[in-house]
Amino acid sequence: MDKLSKDLLSRWQFLESGDGLKRAGSMARVLWIAGLLLCIVVVFGICYGLHPAVVAIAAVAMGWVIAERNAVRARLSQWPILRQYIDWKRVQDDLTNDKEKA
């Protein structure tokens, strides 16, 4: 099994059996706070006339953080539906077989 497949199956297993959902929710909150702080930096940077490069870098970082938060929230909302279609026995077998081969 290639590394990408193994990583995806491991993430699914962690979401199903571990505290992955709780950690993803916490990450969404952390990203929301980071986005808010970066927004404040951008606003104050514009108001106080900081160098345009500083404002631009903060704005790009803010956009990336907001996009990541939205992606995490979308995955969290889709997980209850997606998990119904996953063959958990096959996931476990594939991960077990991969560990035995290594």
Q: Where in the chain are the domains?
A: 3-101
- Cα 6 from Cα 46, distance rounded (Å): 46
- Predicted confidence at residue 70, as pLDDT, reads 97
Stretches in the chain below the pLDDT threshold 50: none
- Predicted confidence at residue 76, as pLDDT, reads 92
Using an 8 Å Cβ cutoff, are 24 and 75 in contact? yes
- Predicted confidence at residue 102, as pLDDT, reads 63
Using an 8 Å Cβ cutoff, are 58 and 38 in contact? yes
Using an 8 Å Cβ cutoff, are 56 and 42 in contact? no
